[in-house]
Amino acid sequence: MNNDINIAAEKKLSSGYIRWFVLVIISLAMFGNYYVYDSIAPIADMLKQDLGFTDENIGQMYSVYSIAAVVILLFGGVFIDKYGTKISIVLFGLICSIAAVIPAITDDLNVMLFGRVLLGIGSEPLIVAVTTALAKWFKGKELSFAFGINLTIARLGSVAADNSPTWASGFYINWHDPLVLSAILGLICLVSGIIYWLLETTAEKKYTIGQAGETDKFVLSDLFKFSKSFWYIVALCITFYSAIFPFRSFAIKFFMEAHGETREFAGFLNSLLPISAMIATPLFGLFVDKIGKRALFMMVGSILLLPVYLMFVYADISLYIPIAMMGIAFSLIPAVMWPSVAYIVEGRRLGTAYSVMTLIQQIGLAGFNWMIGAANDYGNASAENPAGYEYGMWIFSILGFFGLLFAFLLRREETGPNGHGLENARVE
């Protein structure tokens, strides 16, 4: 009898509006989180001119985030499992909100860096907690759709930050006011967390909420059981993301100083990458599911990415061309790369596999954000010396070459006797 009541309660919950409201609320927490992360890029030149920051200092703001994320990712899943999604989303949302306020109340570099460390501590576990919460509220086919909506809303935070010089132009009279705007929007992380707390607490009294799967954890001994194909994918992951996100960190400043674009248009160009990913990544995923050839498509994406950085500094063409090529690669490779892991790693080790990929990705971002900033300083990159950006663009191009190499090695491995069927697997 009790089981019948619970089943009826779950059906009532699944057919109600509340879980779709939950989806929007917790996705808004990630929107605020993404906005705060990307709020530095539109004012990078102002920080340099008004506060005397170097490009290396700007790179450090992204690097310390990734360093903190690496540390917290080792423990965040355990915390969420122990204390649940309600406490976790509120706590990590609070940390993100505090992290957004700190840069807006100081002009001291070290204090700003501390704020970015806090953002790394709060942001990555918040994403894990939100993902865990979605798995509790959605089941079956709707789960993938819910994840897609969640990621779309989250990436709108990056789009909003990149385009803030246009829609919030009144804030861009100095370096400080855009950070005040970021602090205001960062409060969404906390407010959304509190609303989610109330929603889940209320729902627990009326319905039986589904249980999420166990949060992915890092298992050290599994590292020695992965195949060559997995490590080639990990290598592609670190080179690919290290070529994309550190570029985005400096792209607005680069477009302004090396190409003479306005802050508004430079922000729009930078926003085309997350916009393209929002639209094209699911479509590429569906396409590859139908025809397979996953390693081949990772090679195609790597080939597209390889020349774009040198085109930015040496080719006299419209910026839309290299941006379009980068956007296709940014949509295609992730759509193929992350699901491919599930085809070559045993289900019981998937948590470790994805944890390893995420950790190494963040290590790469920490190193290359810092390195690109230092390279810009070494070349004295500025509006007066746009050629100084060439060092950084060559670093990105070298990463693109290694990405292509690892994609080639993956395809060779998968078409050989030790392959896992990655090229042939199709979803009917």
Q: Give domain limits for the chain.
A: 1-215, 217-428
Count other C-beta atoms under 10 Å from residue 78's C-beta.
Answer: 12
Look at residue 14 in the predicted model and tell me its pLDDT.
47
Angle between helices 390-414 and 294-305 (to 10 degrees): 160
Q: Do domains 1-215 and 217-428 have the same CATH topology?
A: yes
Give the pLDDT score at 84. Answer: 83
CATH 1.20.1250.20 given to domain 1-215: yes
- Structure token pair of residue 344: 């070559």
Is the separation of the CB atoms in 182 and 104 below 8 Å?
Answer: yes
pTM of the model: 0.87
Predicted local confidence at residue 317, as pLDDT: 93
Placement of tokens 């779950």 in the chain: 10
**161 and 38 Cβ atoms separated by less than 8 Å:** yes
DSSP code for 38: T
Give the per-residue pLDDT at 203: 80
| End-to-end Cα separation, the chain, in angstroms | 39
The full DSSP string for 359-384 is HHHHHHHHHHHHHHHHHHHHTT-SSS
Mean pLDDT by 10 residues, the chain (428 residues): 44 62 92 96 95 96 94 78 86 96 96 96 89 76 71 92 96 96 96 93 70 53 76 93 95 96 96 90 81 86 93 94 93 84 75 79 94 96 95 96 93 81 62
pLDDT (0 to 100) of residue 208: 57
Q: Give the pLDDT confidence score for residue 143 in this predicted structure.
A: 64
DSSP 41: G
CA distances from 93 to 8, 34, 243, 390 (A): 33, 12, 29, 39
Which residue in this structure is represented by tokens 């009326």? 206
Q: Which of these, 76, 73, 374, 355, lies nearest to 237 by C-alpha position?
A: 355
Which positions ≥6 away from 59 have C-beta within 8 Å? 246, 249, 250, 369, 370, 371, 372, 373, 374
Find out whether 261 and 254 touch, Cβ atoms under 8 Å.
Answer: no
Report pLDDT for 408: 93
CA nearest to 263, candidates 34, 41, 76, 29: 41
What is the H or E stretch that residue 245 is in?
helix 228-259
Q: Which CATH class is domain 217-428?
A: mainly alpha
